Amino acid sequence: MPLWGFLLSFLAAAMWAASPIMVNYGLAISKCSIHEVNPFRAAVFFVTSLIIALIYNGGHITPITSPLIYFYLFAGVSAGYLLGDLFYFIAIREIGVSLAVPIANGYPILVIFTSWILLGEPVTMKLLWGIVVVVSGILLLRFGGEKIKEPDDAADALHNKRRLMKGFAFAIATGCFWALSAPMTKLVIITSGLGPVEVTFYRSFAFLVISIVARIVTVKYRTTATIPLRSVRPAAAMYFAAAAFIGLCLGSIVYAACLVVMPVAIVTAITATSPLIAALFGHFALKERLLKLQWTGIVLIIAGSVAVGI
């Protein structure tokens, strides 16, 4: 495995740490809901990926005709970008960047299983130790925080507890969907024979189609949960666009390039170091306070995720 593959994996981790922070900022300065995020992300992702693919390939993009490849594309994108990211944004809204990001990024443990089932990549005894370490870290994040004084109103106290549990549940669900998406991307690369730039373009196309369909369904059946896209503040739209360009476009190209020369489990283990970057930003910039036990939990999640892939 080449050194540049490891370096690019860490670069992808940094990009993926920055992307949700930008989305969180966009949501904070606007009155839009999480349902308005994906249309902006999908459009920017598609346009930038198309431009990069055309430049990189001299104006030519290799066509895909296999239904199986399209199945892998749409299944992986639906799991990762639609459901996984949607749950991710909900988790960030409920429990903040510092907690949601580390929990969701424990997904390399699950990637071991999905890669074994879908790709036949081997499972070793280190997996058991990795599970113990990562789960210990998640428990420290959940129960190692500062004890907040319960409100006098029993209803408010119950609401706070439910919100905390909801945030943790969505963060864990995020990891499950991301774990399904990772080997799907590898299958696209294997079966299509395309390079990382073209694979990223086709993933952006799938995301655009899925986002349009999801938007139509959401507006029709959950009208009160959405606002017109034209009502989103320009500053918020810029944050969503920047998050798409850095996290989805550039991050996906770098990630796909790593998958070409490295096993899925190792790449995802290295990119799982992004929680530390996000937690530091959440602590210093967003003023999300973490206690020593919770910092220990973050370190354990990263250590367990990286160790299983080494």
- pLDDT values of the chain reduced to their tens digit, one per residue, 310 residues: 677 777 888 888 888 778 877 888 888 888 777 788 889 989 999 999 999 899 988 888 889 989 999 999 999 999 998 899 889 888 888 887 777 877 787 777 787 778 888 888 776 776 667 767 766 776 676 566 555 455 555 666 666 778 888 888 998 899 899 889 988 988 998 899 888 889 889 999 999 999 999 999 988 888 887 888 888 888 998 999 998 888 888 887 887 788 777 776 677 667 766 666 666 666 666 666 667 776 787 777 767 766 655 5
- Confidence at residue 262, expressed as pLDDT on a 0 to 100 scale: 78
Closest by CA position to 77, among listed 249, 264, 174, 210: 210
- Alpha-helix residue ranges (DSSP H) falling in the chain: 3-29, 37-56, 67-77, 85-95, 97-104, 108-119, 126-143, 154-192, 196-221, 234-243, 251-261, 264-271, 274-284, 292-307
Model pTM score: 0.75
Query: What gap in Å lies between CA 141 and CA 241, rounded to an integer?
Result: 31
CA distance to 16, 89, 112, 211, 271, per residue, from 309 (Å):
19, 27, 8, 32, 11
Vertex 28: Cα angle to 46 and 239 (nearest 5): 30
- Confidence at residue 117, expressed as pLDDT on a 0 to 100 scale: 84
- Confidence at residue 268, expressed as pLDDT on a 0 to 100 scale: 67
Query: What gap in Å lies between CA 86 and CA 263, rounded to an integer?
Result: 27
- Confidence at residue 189, expressed as pLDDT on a 0 to 100 scale: 87
Residue 273's H or E segment, with its range, is none
- Confidence at residue 70, expressed as pLDDT on a 0 to 100 scale: 94
- Confidence at residue 148, expressed as pLDDT on a 0 to 100 scale: 47
- Confidence at residue 76, expressed as pLDDT on a 0 to 100 scale: 93
- Confidence at residue 207, expressed as pLDDT on a 0 to 100 scale: 93
